Amino acid sequence: MKKLTLASLLLVCSYSANASINEQQLATYYQATQGDYSQLDTLYKELQQAHQQQPSDPWTLFYLGGTETLKGDDAWMPWSKMSYTEDGLARMNKALNMISEEQWQQQYRHLPQAIFMQATAAVTYTRVPDFFNYQDQGMQLFKQVLNDQRFLQSPAPATSWVYRFAIEAALNNQQPALAEQWFKQLQQTGVKDNYSQLTAQLMAEHGKS
């Protein structure tokens, strides 16, 4: 499975999140997305317990699914890889369908939680192997997020990572025109950070190929 390297690029900033998942658990999750699985089993058990206590909370279910997907990457046996990944993706998808007004009102890294969930799911869906059949859904989520006025009106430094991974996904899915469209949107925000620089490099490399 392709590494889910979102955390290696995420900004470190203040946020408001449900009490169901604490800051350390979120930090452990994003540390695991960089390939450090040393605390993954512990986190998985903690999030299972949190979900049992709050089964109707999509934020908890979403991160439980994400953690389960990472366990699929970490597993040794092929059937374990398949089982964890399939179950994790399904949980993430279920959490997206459970999004309520609360997730639109709560903020995480200066984005509505709902948008952060959708964008994170899009990154995950477009980075797991094609045979899981989540590529198209991931691309649709990217399109949905990048056309959402709430996303477009959010602070540019909070949105650039989404453009970064959306553009990469568009290029990987042979949609260069869409990648160019999103790159122009990113440029129009005026943001100058690691995300925008990496995206510019990616587009330059694509132009040479």
Q: Mind listing the pLDDT tens digit for each residue in 147-203? A: 999 999 999 999 999 999 999 999 999 999 999 999 999 999 999 999 999 999 999
pLDDT score for 78: 87
Res 21: pLDDT: 86
* pLDDT reported for residue 133: 94
State residue 75's pLDDT score: 87
Q: In this predicted structure, what is the pLDDT of residue 207?
A: 83
Residue 148: burial class (beta carbons within 10 Å; 0-12, 13-18, 19+): middle
pLDDT of residue 51: 95
For tokens 């690691």, name the residue. 194
Contact 3, 91 (CB under 8 A): no
Q: Per-residue confidence of the chain (209 residues) as pLDDT tens digits? A: 544 444 433 333 333 344 578 889 989 998 888 888 999 999 999 999 999 999 999 999 999 999 999 999 888 888 889 999 999 999 999 999 999 999 999 999 999 999 999 999 999 999 999 999 999 999 999 999 999 999 999 999 999 999 999 999 999 999 999 999 999 999 999 999 999 999 999 999 998 76
Q: What angle do CA 34, 40, 41 make, to 5 degrees?
A: 165
Position 166, amino acid: A
* Model pLDDT, residue 209: 66
| Assigned token pair, 53 | 């206590």
- The whole-model pTM stands at 0.87
Q: What is the pLDDT of residue 173?
A: 95
Determine the residue type at 114.
A
Q: Can you tell me the distance from the alpha carbon of 103 to that of 145, in angstroms, rounded to the nearest whole number?
A: 14
